[in-house]
Amino acid sequence: MNFRVLLAGGVAPLALLSHAAFGAEPAPVADPQNTVPPADVTAGPAEADGAPGDIVVTARRRTENVQTVPIAVSVVDAGRLEAQGTFNISRLTQIQPTLQFYTQNPRNTFINIRGIGAPFGLTNDGFEQGVGIYIDDVYYNRIASATLDFVDVQQIETLRGPQGTLYGKNTTAGAINITTTPPSFDFGGKAEVTLGNLNFKQGKATITGPISDTLAARISASTTSRRGTIYNVTTNSYIQSIDNLGVRGALLWKPRSDLSVTLSGDWNLQDPICCALPFYSYGRTQRAANRQLPALLTYFPGYPRADYPLPNVDPFDRLTDVDAQLAARNEHGGLSAKAVWDLDEGNTITSISAWRYWDWGPANDRDYTGLPIYTKVNNPTKQNQYTQEFRWNHKGSGYDFVIGLFGFHQSIRTSGIQQTGTAASKWLLNPTNALSNNPNVANNLVAVNDIRLDNTSAALFGKLNWDVTEQLVISPGFRVNYDRKKGLYNSVVTGNASDGTRQIVSPVPGSAYYNDPWITQLRGIQASQFFEPTFSAWNLSYDVNVRYKITPDVNVYATYARSFKTGGINLNGVPADANGVPIASAFTIKPEKVDHFEAGFKTQFWDRKATFNVTGFWTEIKDFQASVSNGQLGTVRGYLANADKVRSRGVEADLSLRPSDRFSTYANVAYTDATFEKFCDAPPPPELSGGSSTGIVVTGKCTYTGTIGAPGTPGAVSPPFVDISGSPLPGVSKWAAAWGAEFNLPTPIFGEEGQAYFGYDASYRSSWSSNPSPSIYTNVAGYSLHNFRAGFRTDRFDVFGWVRNAFNQNYVELLLAGTGGNTGLIAGQIGDPRTFGGTIKATF
């Protein structure tokens, strides 16, 4: 029996998508709690205890077809993850069409579902993302953990749409629920080795078994390494490598049949040569022509070497020339204890206690060039997180419910540094200023940042499932949540004064050296700032799900959810007034308020050899947390604030077919229309940035007087903000799809009875915007990726070869405007080229 109890406030989506699409037949999963299983599937149905083709769950102590459950969840099991080489969430996007994943490095990572979930392009310790990550019942507050390898994963469930009632705060877009394989009282294990091009090496091993009649253990390890895909001509080495290591262990204690206690621990390390975005293109801005990229490069003859002129580089040459040190050391781990006590036939008590830590050690080159402009832009971070949850599940006649309490505390300490080099004067100061020719002016401008966050929350939640009739089930739920955040932002900036001394670069008029000509220039690059923001609020989430069974194989359902994402505090600096004082109204970010409607149907036909599910959704968010640069607050500076309203609506369809044991296929498609319904003070895109402000007078939140210049016209007047109402949200494609198939044939080889098989899977996404405000320079073209595999498997081993991105598609994962002023430099995250290799797996 698997004593898996999902953290999601008592919801356990246990649908077993399984190797039905890929060969093996899994056993049903039992859950001792009377939890309500929301799920539908993205690929073929599993057979377990029910009629052929049934997808079975046992979450309510009875076998039931997951097709009757009224929430859309895509479920992928370990077999499919391994077959398709999906060893982290980044690769999961290729089989989950509505999931978007973007990362510059582990800290600067964003996950969206249906186009919503996180402000695009700005990392800030003081806010939380809208897609919850859960691993073995434990909520992971920092998204950096999602970039590491999966270790001994049993299955992954992607819940689409707000899940605030049962999955807790900050799931306005959905949740990703990862379950590892539990300890077993039957001795066994497995091992896997993979080798591929680019020096790809991956090893996995697991062993499990009894220690005594009441105690079982499981320990797993995984390691992955690969040479980088981008060649750095400055250091003559490859970057964007992979270097991951993970270890997980668990003890299951069952002193009697009605009680189980699981102690788990894990440690994970990611330490690649990473991360930098290569030059992608040049796009004209409104900055003066002598301060844009082509002119700036002429100030550095031979840069970075005579045979490598930056503006003419093809990004798919996979070259860069960054000169600063690179590092992306990402370590996290933790301990958890889960106790499940069946009081009697209808009552279960669950307790989940956990501690987790995160240690982030970066080194970056944020000017994206081989020039010593910014030599350091690093924000090393340490976090500790504690969670505790209690749940009571009760099963009665015609109803069941769960009631619970959840507590959370997190402390984050970031000690950052930003430092400029000898090229900073020419690059960052106006060339018409004689000081720009003196490299000593802006050299060694240093910002030392002390950033702190203490984040505490508590919640009371409940969910009722009422069987009104045999056909009709109504499931209302609620969650009352309290949040308190206390932060500190202290950036001390020092630079060179004209008398040769080191001085504080202060924004406060009348301060020491305020009028010094060198300090005056440095203040236009960066100045000291200190503030201590706080936030606290109560919030109520509630929802109701309705499911009606038309026939045993046709179900319709509908959901309304009122959810929220907790408010936040700005911890990256905020605008200051004319006296250099941070503006208090920008300290905090209001909570997002979400209204969500969803309806769909789930069907099985062709003797349950076919499954076809369709979901339609409409989500509206007020006070959407977004990246802004508001001119009316004084100095224009990027930070987080609230857009008035966004909307995401669309349709998702999933089809799977298994006409015989020899063949299976699936196809998933999603149409998503995600737009800013009202956002009148958004940050200008690159083509409308960097110009003068002559004649511009801000008269209100979204109004100003004056005439702006044409986009991309050097020296023109730039707007303080732009109205992007009606524009698409960044990061989301209107169309996304995933499809695949596998054929197998019984084939004895060397006396072993097994299957020879051939598999194919693919994904597609249409074009999308990669800038917080849509830009003509950062629209990412659509693309499709195609993968193949072929091999032979038995009950004891599996040997196969694989090729991914088989047609060597050139594609971009992310585009962004370079830092250091609106120079027109566009950097790009280039997707992996064709990779290929072989895998050997053994089970005992």
In order of 193, 221, 386, the CA distances from 218 in angstroms are 19, 10, 24
CB half-sphere exposure, 427, CA atoms < 13 A: 26
CB 505 within 8 A of CB 523: yes
- How many other β-carbons are positioned within 10 Å of the β-carbon of residue 383? 21
CB 49 within 8 A of CB 30: no
DSSP of 268-281:
EEE--S---PPEEE
Q: Given this model, what pLDDT does residue 25 score? A: 31
User: d(Cα 674, Cα 620) in Å, to the nearest integer?
Assistant: 10
Count of all residues that appear for the chain in the document: 844
DSSP of 299-329:
TSTT-S-TT--GGG--GGG-EE---S--EEE
Closest C-alpha among 294, 277, 276 to residue 285: 294
Closest C-alpha among 82, 4, 15, 87 to residue 44: 15
Range of the domain at 230: 19-843
- Number of folded domains in the chain? 1
Query: In the chain, what's the furthest Cα-to-Cα distance?
Result: 89
Q: Given this model, what pLDDT does residue 305 score? A: 66
At position 604, the amino acid (one-letter code) is Q
User: d(Cα 759, Cα 82) in Å, to the nearest integer?
Assistant: 13
Q: Given this model, what pLDDT does residue 304 score? A: 67
CB 559 within 8 A of CB 541: no
- With a CB cutoff of 8 Å and minimum separation 6, the contacts of 660 are none
Instruction: Tell me the residue ranges of DSSP E strands in 364-471.
Output: 374-378, 381-396, 399-420, 446-467
| Dihedral angle computed from the Cα positions of residues 135, 137, 140 and 144, in that order, rounded to the nearest 10 degrees | 0
Domain annotation covers residue 12: no
Give 694's strand partners.
none
Q: Given this model, what pLDDT does residue 821 score? A: 66
Domain annotation covers residue 4: no
Q: Is 725 helix (H, G, I), strand (E, B) or coil?
A: coil
Q: Given this model, what pLDDT does residue 745 score? A: 95
Q: Given this model, what pLDDT does residue 307 score? A: 60
Give the CATH number of the domain where residue 520 resides: 2.40.170.20
End-to-end Cα separation, the chain, in angstroms: 19
Domain annotation covers residue 10: no
Residue ranges for the chain with pLDDT beneath 70: 1-69, 120-122, 145-146, 304-312, 629-638, 819-821
Domain annotation covers residue 497: yes
Q: Report the relative pairing of strands 797-804 and 835-843 from DSSP bridges.
A: antiparallel
User: d(Cα 88, Cα 517) in Å, to the nearest integer?
Assistant: 51
Backbone angles phi, psi at 661, to 5 degrees: -70, -10
Q: Given this model, what pLDDT does residue 206 score? A: 96
Q: Given this model, what pLDDT does residue 38 score? A: 32
DSSP of 547-562:
EEEEETTEEEEEEEEE
- How many other β-carbons are positioned within 10 Å of the β-carbon of residue 835? 19
Q: Given this model, what pLDDT does residue 820 score? A: 59
Give 57's strand partners.
64
At position 679, the amino acid (one-letter code) is F
- With a CB cutoff of 8 Å and minimum separation 6, the contacts of 226 are 196, 198, 199, 200, 201, 241, 242
In order of 17, 753, 760, the CA distances from 661 in angstroms are 15, 16, 17
Domain annotation covers residue 645: yes
Domain annotation covers residue 716: yes
Closest C-alpha among 91, 235, 282, 99 to residue 804: 91
Domain annotation covers residue 177: yes
User: d(Cα 820, Cα 292) in Å, to the nearest integer?
Assistant: 11
- The rounded Cα 492 to chain-centroid distance in angstroms is 31
Domain annotation covers residue 302: yes
CB 80 within 8 A of CB 251: no
User: d(Cα 335, Cα 340) in Å, to the nearest integer?
Assistant: 17
User: d(Cα 670, Cα 682) in Å, to the nearest integer?
Assistant: 28
| Dihedral angle computed from the Cα positions of residues 430, 431, 434 and 437, in that order, rounded to the nearest 10 degrees | 110
Cα 354–Cα 359–Cα 363 angle in degrees, nearest 5: 160
Closest C-alpha among 7, 59, 58, 31 to residue 351: 7
| pTM of the model as a whole | 0.89
Handedness of CA 91, 92, 95, 101 (dihedral sign): negative
